[in-house]
Amino acid sequence: MSDTKILQAILDNQISMKEDINGLEKKMDAGFEKVNNRLDSIGESVSYLEDDAPTRENILIWKKRVKIIEKKLAAV
């Protein structure tokens, strides 16, 4: 093989590898974007659930109310 053909083969292989790497990089970026979007939506859902969750004080108030209602029903 002549020197130019060897150099051209090496150059072609480098170009091919660079294109493969760029393709993989694009796929990885798209995958990370999907994962990030999913984590963001899960985070929003969790924050809404935390806002709706009763606090310890609310539970204690409800227990007191239930006891009052139980006493009233027991007296009837």
Cβ-proximal residues to 62 (8 Å cutoff; 6+ apart), any chain: 54
The CA distance from 73 to 56, in Å, is: 26
- To the question of pTM greater than 0.85 for the whole model, the response is no
Read off the tokens for 30. 């798209």
What percentage of the chain has pLDDT greater than the value 70? 97
| Count of the separate structural domains present in the chain | 1
User: Domain range spanning residue 11?
Assistant: 3-75
pLDDT tens string 53-72: 788 898 999 999 999 999 99
